[in-house]
Amino acid sequence: MIQPTYLVIMTLLENWRTLLVPSGTFQLQDLWQLIVVIALFAISTKIFGAKAKSVVITRITPALWLKGNRSFLVLWATLIVAWGICILIPIEAPIFSFFSFLGVIWLIIGLLTSLIRAPFWSQSVAAVCYLTSAMLSLSLVDDGIDSLQDLHVTIGTSTISAWGILSGILAFAFTMWACLAVARIIETQIQKVPGLSPSLKVLIAKIIRIVFIVVATAVSLSSMGIDLSALTVLGGAIGLGLGFGLQKVVSNFISGILLLVDNSIKPGDVIEIDGTYGWINNLRARYASVITRDGTEHLIPNEDLITQRVINWTFTNNLVRMKVPIGVSYDSDPHQCLKLVIAAAQSVDRVLLEPTPVCHVLGFGDSSIDLELRFWISDPTNGVANVKSQVLLNIWDTFKENNIEIPYPQSDLHIRSSDIAMPSTEPCISPDK
């Protein structure tokens, strides 16, 4: 009983490459297998894709990774079954064999990378490993790379092959991952520098990210065998077309850079534009995020911040002066009212004692003596309407305690005599009665 089992194990070990690693070449008659793979992918994504999207993942674990990739697991299992059926018939199925082998590798990669706690690093490492394993698996197929190199297109002096495109995608993915990882580390270090303003930190981070993206793109194009000097004219034409077709996008992008350079608006500033009052949450390449007091986040295009009138409550400092109009009765003593209004404002915690609040008589209105209270606050991010409301309530209570009346508009109606005969309103009595 032990001897047959030993022989089976030794046979498996001797033929492990034949069983696990795809062999043979891809022929034109194998195209139907590729069509079947695409159809199975579409069906599995349609059935299990919606369920996978409904899974909210805050931290990746192997169990959650399996739950979120049901469509991949179903597709991989179906391909293994199809490959086994082709072996039993028998029919050569190199494409089924290739994707079954690749599915094993991707399953192992997915489970291992799900152990990484940081989602950014987990997804980035997994993406690079997926592409690398696919390229290595394809290189194991006999004449696989040569067949892809034979599929090429010649543009001028440059020759672009299918293998060059795949290697370029791999190079772009790896370079982009490395560049974004380095950019994120640099951005984190920049945020810790105390001497830089918030807008300058954002500007430096954006420039570093753009430079790294350009480097990754250049490396990928060079890996495809494309002569970068040959793209000068093409790049100029594309740039001209983008300039006309994406005027708003380019305008917002340039406006965002100008805002960061001149430091007129920076993260944390309290602004008011077109009836929207709130503080700058962050500045993006195309828009600025403004959060209002009710928690609503407005995405304002950078161009509007350049071309429209913007009130920056905290441009120079956080000190903001508030003005509150007040009316008192003519029967009141205005000197006493001024003192009571100032005392009521000073009793509010958010009102600054220095500069001290002041109250002035602005004029004598139709129904009241018009006063105006002026006071300063240093935290406009906490709202201005609420502190004004608190001040008005304190003034109301103070006036009630001192019997000072807040008048309301009154109108006097004078009736003058007229020469026009008015019809009599007395009841007419008949002579018979």
Please identify, among 150, 180, 210, the residue that sits at the C-terminal boundary of a domain: 150
Q: What is the distance between the alpha carbons of residues 398 and 348, in angstroms, rounded to a whole number?
A: 13
pLDDT of residue 20: 46
Using the 8-state DSSP alphabet, how is residue 381 labeled?
G
Can you give the residue range of the structural domain that contains 389? Answer: 320-401
Provide the CATH number for the domain around residue 301: 2.30.30.60
Pair 126, 70 in one domain: yes
52-61, 152-161, 225-234: least confident range: 52-61
Residue-wise pLDDT tens digits, 317-352: 778 888 999 999 888 888 999 999 999 999 998 999
More confident residue, 144 or 229: 229
Residue-wise pLDDT tens digits, 269-284: 888 888 788 888 888 7
**Model confidence band, residue 149 (pLDDT cutoffs 50, 70, 90):** low
Q: Which whole number is the average pLDDT over 189-206?
A: 74
Task: Name every residue whose Cβ is closer than 8 Å to that of residue 349 and which is 6 or more positions away in sequence.
Answer: none
Question: Model's pTM, two decimal places?
Answer: 0.42
Which tokens in the block code for residue 397?
């209570």
Q: What is the distance between the alpha carbons of residues 399 and 328, in angstroms, rounded to a whole number?
A: 9
pLDDT of residue 391: 92
CA distances from 26 to 34, 140, 367 (A): 10, 12, 96
Task: Name every residue whose Cβ is closer than 8 Å to that of residue 248 and which is 6 or more positions away in sequence.
Answer: 301, 303
Domain contains 326: yes
Domain contains 303: yes
Pair 25, 141 in one domain: yes
Burial class (CB in 10 A: 0-12, 13-18, 19+), 80: middle
CA distances from 305 to 300, 346, 415 (A): 8, 36, 58
pLDDT of residue 231: 61
Please identify, among 150, 165, 188, the residue that sits at the C-terminal boundary of a domain: 150
Question: What type of residue is 412?
Answer: D
Pair 389, 284 in one domain: no
Q: Per-residue pLDDT for 58 more than 70?
A: no
pLDDT of residue 114: 83
The mean of the pLDDT values for the chain is: 76
More confident residue, 106 or 421: 106
Using the 8-state DSSP alphabet, how is residue 185 labeled?
H
Pair 35, 94 in one domain: yes
Q: Per-residue pLDDT for 18 more than 80?
A: no
